[in-house]
Structure 1
């Protein structure tokens, strides 16, 4: 299970884009020559996002089929003879295998169990894939600890196109509050997808793609002590409500170095996700406060607190093209973490939890953080952004709404204006053509090589420039 949570001074925050000038002081004016010199802003190795298709598999790979109408006594090798449980197939997988999951509802077998327990690994050239059968919409319904649990060092795993539903719909807040000192109740603390680096058996090279994860008392997607993780194009909502541990929508906690990667190389990608209404409705058991419930958080990757025995994480994390709105905590948050780039995201009306004043994007006790080309929209008289006890943090080319509250961190090319969303009341954050965010973002070869598409998968450049926020106006 995901165990983290922090008070105001222990929340994540601070991100630095490799293509922004190192050491830029907030508010310092960038000279025209430096702004035009793209090469000076492109210090990080240009690494494209990992392919969203399974890496080439060995010729002997097996495809297993699972159906809500199947039987675990079947061979599982065709649509006419599928297994009934995904676990039956998972226990047979070898490198290169694919598990195709057909329509049906799949539940955890025991009250404290997991719907899908992944412990077997693929290889670099032969990943193991779990995905929805083409055209089908399988549902993993969980009231145990995990909908999907990737652990025991399982690596080179692809989870694609599944719906994971937690237990929030079966309990209420009154019951959850009665359990606020109970760490062992999966009904309130269960996660959607957990990548769990426990007992020195840590996972790496995991892709979580195109899934819908919602209504989990704990975290939506919780990644712990892992490396080379891609979380792309998922819809993550209504999570973190009832856990005593302080959960969030998407969380990367205590990132782990599986190799000698350095801060000039992207290893983790959190991209094109829609993350909303993740919020703590039960206080964190550690201090009795309501906190966390962030949309996206990179948490304690310095590994120097809370008893971590890991070395400080050296790889970079890219958080880009996400929409994070109406979460209890920050829309995007870093705490005690370094080497994070937050680029072209749209954050809207986060800080829904009473008393949380972190801003839409927060850098807390962090460093080497870049916050570039984002849209940050806060409620009236609430902080828009926040930089707390962080160093080497750059905010630039962002758009802030004019909500009557001063901006905490301002870059020379930030602007304050109405972003002119199409219809934010129904979650439509596309821009009107008259928005000042259109064609006014920062553009470089670095951005174009790493952000080829926007939230919808449309080309990132369409017009005279690059837009701010998660959407690119298409001509």
Structure 2
């Protein structure tokens, strides 16, 4: 185990409060992601239309009426005591600690969601008790979860949306928005959504997850989406999140490790469950995310179709030495078709494992993935000119030639970043070769992960951060 690896993962030996302080200061990549959460928070209250407001406070009482003057004491009391809670309503959770596993058992409708909102960004701390599973479990559709600090004290995930009504015979909830949350130190994934449709996962921070859950989660996991009626186009969006230091530590049965990715788009074909829904036909967008220091891959697209991965920064992942695999890409396309990889930055750390690579494009079944395009991506593995690509079989778009123009083996020139991950800043220096090196051919976000316009220069920058060229 490398010294850098030991330094990075000593966080797991710290008490949670100490680890939270260290992680917030040193591992968010440039401008604090938590500051971004507070300053650039999309207002969920704007989505609630003319609905009612119910309040929860640690100083409240579950015998109260849930008004601001007489709040409930527990979040669960709102769902238990307001039978007509629903579309357009907002549950406002005041700052404090809530030692409960929250089941979101009411939802909204097509006109307005039900919103669960932390009154102060990350001011409401949800800590589910031992013996529970996930800290927040969404079992209804048309729901927004906004602004919480979440830790599962049970065996599951931070925020989960898996089965409608909690019944594993059902598909998952749809039209679910998860934004501005910090999900950390959970045995499973930080955020896990499955079997549903119309997900928006944005501006969250996920770290220190996946340590012990038998299903081997990731910082953010989107699994086996199943389409519901609705408009065409992009239906699943994962954007402007920070996912780092998620890694399997001690799994039941001491089985080999396989995941702990920053972000995984997993089996949108529904092959593992053999569900009759089949392959999810709509577009998924993964954009403006920062993934670093995870045990698994940075962004992993596995057994999936119709995904765009655009303007992400993935660095120094694949740190789990209990993962026996030699397919270890920062950006990873495995057994997946119709995938666009555009304007990303990938930096591999060979000091952890010699098979680590910036890009992995591979097929396990002998049949190559179809219509996988790599355009304007930057790769680096510590030595200029080394492409850092693992291909099986070769993909002709992984080239520096026109029209793909990938910057292979090119130092990205971050403001401050190294494999030891000490106080990193993954923004680009003004003279970085990644500045103005992107393309808009396959679309572009209006802004980067910090809200800076993508139109600062002649062309968009590569990676999650936009800068002004020198």
TM-score by shorter chain over 0.5: yes
- 1:190 to 2:169 alignment: no
Query: How far apart, in 2, do the equivalents of 1:407 and 1:280 lie?
Result: 25
For structure 1, the residue ranges without an aligned partner over 5 or more in a row are: 1-50, 109-114, 168-186
Which of 150, 160, 165 is residue 138 of structure 2 equivalent to?
Answer: 150
**Deviation for aligned residue 1:104:** 1.0
Contact 2:359–2:388 (Cα < 8 Å) also in 1 = no
Match of 1:35 in 2: none
Offset at 1:474? 4.0
Pairing partner for 1:77 from 67, 75, 91: 67
**How far off is 1:453 after superposition?**
1.1
SS at match of 1:75: coil
Question: Size of the alignment, in residue pairs?
Answer: 389
CA distance, structure 2, for counterparts of residue 294 and residue 402 of structure 1: 19
Residues 401-448 of structure 1 show CA distances to partners (whole Å, capped at 9, x for unaligned) of 14456423523301131111112232321111111000111124x524
1:379 to 343, 349, 352: 349
- Residue 281, structure 1, aligned to residue 249, structure 2: yes
Contact 1:334 1:366 in 2 (8 A): yes
Residues 135 and 350 from structure 1, CA distance in 2 versus in 1: closer, same or farther, beyond 3 angstroms?
closer
Please tell me whether the aligned partners of residues 159 and 207 of structure 1 are also in contact (alpha carbons under 8 angstroms): yes
SS state of the match for residue 89, structure 1?
helix
TM normalised by structure 1 equals 0.78
Number of the residue aligned with 2:104: 118
Q: Is the 8 A contact 1:54 1:127 kept in 2?
A: no
* Preserved contact between residue 99 and residue 129 of structure 1 (Cα < 8 Å): yes
- For residues 200-279 of structure 1, the aligned pairs below 5 Å read 200-259=170-229, 265-279=233-247
Any unmatched runs of 5+ in structure 2?
1-41, 364-368
CA distance in 1, matches of 2:178, 2:195: 16
- The CA deviation at 1:121 is 1.6
- Structure 2 equivalent of residue 300 of structure 1: 267
**Structure 1 434/58 Cα, relative in aligned 2: closer, same or farther at 3 Å?**
closer
SS for the counterpart of 2:460 is coil
What is aligned with 1:395? 374
Cα 1:209–1:362 shift into 2, 3 Å: same
Kept in 1: contact 2:456–2:468 (CA 8 A): yes
Give the Cα separation in 1 of the matches to 2:144 and 2:61.
24
Correspondence 1:328-407 to 2 at 5 A:
328-354=295-321, 355-356=324-325, 357-380=327-350, 381=354, 382-389=356-363, 390-403=369-382, 404=386, 406-407=388-389
Residue in structure 1 matched with residue 461 of structure 2 by the alignment: 467
Could you tell which deviates more after superposition, 321-330 or 192-201?
A: 192-201
TM-score w.r.t. length of structure 2: 0.79
Of 421, 429, 434, 2:431 maps to 434
Return the match for 1:417 from 392, 405, 410.
410
- 400-409 vs 351-360, greater mean Cα deviation: 400-409
Q: Deviations over 1:97-118 (max 9, x none)?
A: 001111111112xxxxxx2101
Higher relative contact order (CA 8 A, sep 6+): 1
Secondary structure of the residue aligned to 1:426 is coil
Q: Distance in 2 between matches of 1:247 and 1:223?
A: 11
